[in-house]
Amino acid sequence: MIPLVKIKLIFLLSIFLSSCFGPVKELKYQIEDSMEDRSIYVSNPNPLNELDNKLFINVEETSSFDDDTLRNFKIFSKGDLVYYISQSGLINSFNLKTNELKNIYKNSINISSGINGDDEFLYYVDVRGYLTCYSISNGLNWKSFVGEVYSPPEVSDGKIFVKDTNNKFHALNAKDGSLIWAYQLPSPSLSIRSWAPMTISEGILYSGGPSGKIIAINSNNGTLLWETTFSQPKGSSEIQRSNDVTSSLIMDDFQLFVVSSQGNVASIAKEDGSILWSRLLSSFEGMSQSEDKIFITHSSGSIYSLSKDTNKVIWRNANYLGRDVSKPIRYNNYIIFSDYEGWMHVISLESGDDLARVKISSATLLTPLIIDDKIFIVSTDGTFSLLTISLNDEKDIDHNTNKTKVSNENLDIEINENSEGDKTLIDTLFFWD
């Protein structure tokens, strides 16, 4: 006969497990998000397994820069033109109609931020701290000192907005570069120098900051509207407590979503900054969204899909641990991202299943830009690629050998890897479905 005390302990344990962890299928997710993964680095990248492509990835155009000093700067498009700037200051445009790559201008000083602009002007910041306005038709227009800046300028309503590495926000007149207002966000003694862009919507500037903060500023006069800490720093040292927002936030009509580098992802009310929900999940790269889901690249390399309303994990793809996976981008019914070996991967938006991959370059790919139905992607070796994804074309897949074949004028690659890859502790737990 089982003692009464043991029966009570078993009963209480069952209640604890059911109430704390929810469905068993989410137990692994919660362990990954709580076992000090805030500083996780997978030193043994998962090798790519064989994949029978279920989609056809068409590489329409490949062109090369005259400059390979590229960093993960923002790419932006205006009309039929796509603009990019290299670290050495070379500005390029790519015409989506004619597939023409054109060198526009070579800045004499190296660049520290990405590029942005409108129909007539381009804006960027150099390593000396000067914001430059370049007229596409007339050349250099003006320069204004703003300090050390890594995130790209934002353009809205006749103003240029920049955020320096000391978390000071500047609003300048787009006509002459004169200062309109400045706002200083208090900063800790140690913070991450990131390329995280600001977001401007309906006259409000939103930006993540150090120590798990997010702020909203009136873009017309620089007044702080609200400030919220959604991810509390943890740890005893400054490095451990470094918990900055290093990626762009996303938003819908009523809420915005933000994730910190060593802490939480959260849903924030746009109106007053109140926290609607928050859960453990860290990301350096950032996220994208669909109508009812957000998609996040975890610090370990896993890709997550979360419900916007409940923060519940819908699916998780852990096939790319340690592969320096980029920010996930939505493309129709798919999610696309790249890794450190120059592969672009396509997974299902609904299930997270692997669907296809293509080798674009031997170098790291930067975050792709979606323009209509085309994917515009740049690699750090100075290569532009223009791609589309469609339903499978049988002639491009060798189903008899179950090998993925990718071909274009520059590439002829065959993949045949059978290794299961390295397994982390959380990937060997018995309850993983």
Q: What is 235-290 written as a DSSP string?
A: SSSHHHH-----S--EE-SSEEEEE-TTSEEEEEETTT--EEEEEE---SSEEEE-
pLDDT over 80 (residue 67): no
User: Is residue 43 included in any domain, yes or no?
Assistant: yes
pLDDT tens, 336-360? 999 989 999 999 999 999 999 999 8
Average pLDDT over residues 266-290: 92
Q: What average pLDDT does the chain have?
A: 79
Measured distance CA(333)–CA(50) in Å, rounded: 22
What is 126-164 written as a DSSP string? BTTSEEEEEETTTEEEEEEE--S--SPPEEETTEEEEE-
- The predicted pLDDT at position 197 comes to 82
Helix, coil or strand: residue 193: coil
Per-residue confidence at 331, pLDDT binned at 50, 70, 90? very high
> What pLDDT, on a 0 to 100 scale, did the predictor assign at position 372?
84
**What average pLDDT does range 78-91 have in this prediction?**
89
Angle (CA) 93-95-98 rounded to 5° is 145
Tell me the mean pLDDT in the region 294-313.
94
Model confidence band, residue 119 (pLDDT cutoffs 50, 70, 90): confident
Integer angstrom CA distances of residue 287 from 15, 143, 294, 345 = 34, 33, 7, 16
* Phi, psi at 53, each rounded to 5°: -55, 125
Asked, for residue 246, whether it belongs to a domain, the answer is: no
pLDDT at 254: 92
Q: Between the CA of residue 286 and those of 191, 200, 241, what are the distances in Å?
A: 18, 17, 19
**Rounded Cα gap, residues 106 and 85, in angstroms:** 9
Inside any domain, residue 290: yes
pLDDT class for 425, splitting at 50, 70, 90? very low
φ, ψ of residue 147 in degrees (nearest 5) = 95, -170
Q: For residues 10 and 331, what is the distance between their CA atoms, to the nearest angstrom?
A: 48
Q: How far apart are CA 349 and CA 412, in angstroms?
A: 28
How much is the average pLDDT of 38-43?
Answer: 50
**Terminal C-alpha separation, the chain:** 35
pLDDT, one tens digit per residue, over 159-190 is 999 999 888 999 999 999 999 999 998 876 55
More confident residue, 295 or 391: 295
C-alpha triplet 277, 270, 186: angle, nearest 5°: 90
Computed from CA positions of residues 286, 290, 294, 299, in that sequence, does the dihedral angle turn out positive or negative?
A: negative
Residue 189 lies in a domain: no
Predicted confidence (pLDDT) at residue 430 exceeds the cutoff of 80: no
Tell whether 324 is covered by a domain: yes
Classify residue 344: in a domain, yes or no.
Answer: yes
- Torsion over CA of 164, 170, 176 and 178, rounded to 10 degrees? -120
* Structural domain contains residue 129: no
CATH number at residue 317: 2.40.128.630
Q: What is the mean pLDDT of residues 308-333?
A: 93
Dihedral of alpha carbons 20, 352, 359, 68, sign: negative
46 or 241, higher pLDDT? 46
Is residue 377 within 8 A of residue 344, CB to CB? The reply is yes
| Model pLDDT, residue 329 | 94
Supply φ then ψ for residue 38, to 5 degrees.
Answer: -60, -25
Given this model, what pLDDT does residue 190 score?
A: 55
pLDDT at 424 over 50: no
Question: Where in the sequence is the domain holding 404, given as residue range(s)?
Answer: 38-66+283-433
Tell which residue, 384, 322, 319, 386, has the closest CA to residue 355: 319
Residue 359 to residues 102, 261, 382, Cα–Cα distance (Å): 25, 28, 15
Coil, helix or strand for 328?
Answer: coil
What residue spans of 286-364 are helical by DSSP H? none
Q: Which of 89, 57, 154 is nearest to 390 (CA)?
A: 57
Domain count, the chain: 1
Look up residue 312 and give its two tokens: 């519940």
In a domain, 432, yes or no: yes
- Confidence band of 319 (pLDDT split at 50, 70, 90): very high
Q: Are 394 and 54 in contact (CB under 8 A)?
A: no
Residues 328, 287: Cα–Cα separation, whole Å: 6
How far apart are alpha carbons 160 and 132 in whole angstroms? 11
Q: Which residue has the higher pLDDT, 16 or 356?
A: 356
Instruction: Of 101-115, 299-313, 417-431, give the lowest mean pLDDT range.
Output: 417-431
Give the angle 421-303-21 at the CA atoms, nearest 5°: 95
Among 14-18, 107-111, 125-129, name the one with the lowest average pLDDT. Answer: 14-18
Q: Averaging pLDDT over each range in 30-44, 72-86, 247-261, 308-322, which range is the top one? A: 308-322
pLDDT number for residue 394: 44
Give residue-wise pLDDT tens across range 204-226. Answer: 999 988 878 899 999 999 999 99
pLDDT at 188: 62
- Is 4 a residue whose pLDDT tops 60? no
According to the model, what pLDDT value does residue 210 have?
81
**Strand, coil or helix: 426:** helix
Please name the residue that has the structure tokens 């820069």: 65
48-62: average pLDDT: 89
The answer to whether the CB of 331 falls within 8 A of the CB of 290 is no
Reduce the DSSP state of residue 352 to 3 states and report it. Answer: coil
